[in-house]
A and B are shown apart, each in its own frame.
Chain A
Amino acid sequence: MFLIPDAVVRFYHRMASPPHFYTFTEQCMPWLVGVFVILVSAGLVGGLYLAPADYQQGDSYRIIYIHVPSAWMSLFIYIVMAVAGAIGLVWRIKLAEVVLVSSAPIGAAFTFIALVTGSLWGKPMWGTWWVWDARLTSELVLLFLYLGVMGLYGAMDDKRVASKAVAILALVGVVNIPIIHYSVEWWSSLHQGPTVITKTGKPAMHSSMLIPLLLMALAFKVYYVIALMQRARTELLSRERNSQWVKNKIAMGAKL
């Protein structure tokens, strides 16, 4: 690992230690929540109030400010899960396993939001709640993959073994991610093609609408980090309940 600077390696190793992760995330939390509140308020005011109505859809298009960031997060979180799964399998790092299992419910929630908001928009705009085109079907499969990871993990008592099983499921399922992304280009679908990252390299969206969308996307990313840290902390405490550092934390009267 000669390409990676020493400081990064050291940070990585320290973060992999559960007690250090626990303390570090506690210190980060207020800052992250602050950044999230600023981003989400800017994004919502920009998207729902400042951005103009669309020339075709009027105000109905504004659901994009929830739908698109949620859909992006549903893909992003799955990739995080798969990478964490690979790290957990190869290096047997406990924290990677915790990141994997803690991400699944958050990813499932974002996928669900993307599907529901898309459906609500689809009824008036397309004329139907649901169609079995490539994009919608592959996104639904993604929801089932998340639910599968959650179910499989919950079904096994030995959490180290369960982590290995869900890591393999997450890695196999990662093949669905490029399928979802390219579904609208590979096959004819009712779902429209990409707006922000187009083939011409220029977003097919006016900047007054695009900036709030990107702010919302950033806000959702920060929200994911917050939710992930909270879930990972409780997961760590329950896994390490017999270890000395947890006992010390309790003895010191640390906030749980």
Chain B
Amino acid sequence: MKVARKQRLILIALMVVGTGIATAFALKSFNENLMYFFSTTDVVAGKAPKDALFRLGGMVVKGTVIRPDKGMMVRFTLTDFSKEVTVEYTGILPDLFREGQGIVAHGKLNTQGVFIAQEVLAKHDENYMPPEVKASLKKKATTEGKL
């Protein structure tokens, strides 16, 4: 390789590596802001903002979705399999909202530590399968459970 070409190649490599390092530092320092939501553990640990709106993500605990006064208000518990937070929401839930699914709620904590959501979004997981496969997986899980 000719010297001039080699120098240009090195220069380009340095430029790409340099941008990469600079971006890595920038992203590292903005890490918290890039998080789309807080986990339930963050909220219980008091890391989430007290008086401001924020997003809370977690799994809807099975059997906790209730409508206390038979109206539009729905109450459920979110978990990250370590700590739990109770959420209240009045409005229409997205198609994918169901027990055992991940959701992201936008709102704030009240004085009792209940999260009052203004918006609830369903978070889809990465699994895709036909209904029959899901049914047989469930069957397999229950028979294994019995053994």
Contact = CB atoms under 8 A, between A and B. Distances in A.
Contact of B128 (A54, A86, A168, A187): A54
A115 interface: no
Contacts of A205: 127-129
B12 A86 contact: yes
Chain A, interface size: which category?
35 or more
Given A54-B130, A174-B16, A126 B5 contact: no
A204 B126 contact: yes
Contact of A52 (B12, B23, B131): B131
Interface string B115-147: 000011111111111111110000000000000
B121 to A, nearest CB: 5
B39 to A, nearest CB: 7
A171 B122 CA distance: 36
Given A133-B36, A205-B129, 4 more contacts: A56-B124, A89-B12, A90-B5, A124-B95
A188 interface: yes
Interface string B13-55: 0011001100100010001001111010000000000000000
Contacts of A190: 36-37, 104, 121, 123
Given A89-B12, A125-B96, A187-B36, A192 B126 contact: yes
A29 B110 CA distance: 65
Q: Provide the main secondary structure of the chain A interface.
A: loop
Nearest to A171: B16
A72 interface: no
A198 B96 contact: no
Given A54-B129, A56-B96, A126 B27 contact: no
B140 to A, nearest CB: 15
Nearest to A132: B36
B34 A195 contact: no
A206 B57 contact: no
B57 A188 contact: yes
B130 A206 contact: yes
Given A195-B126, A206-B128, A55 B96 contact: no
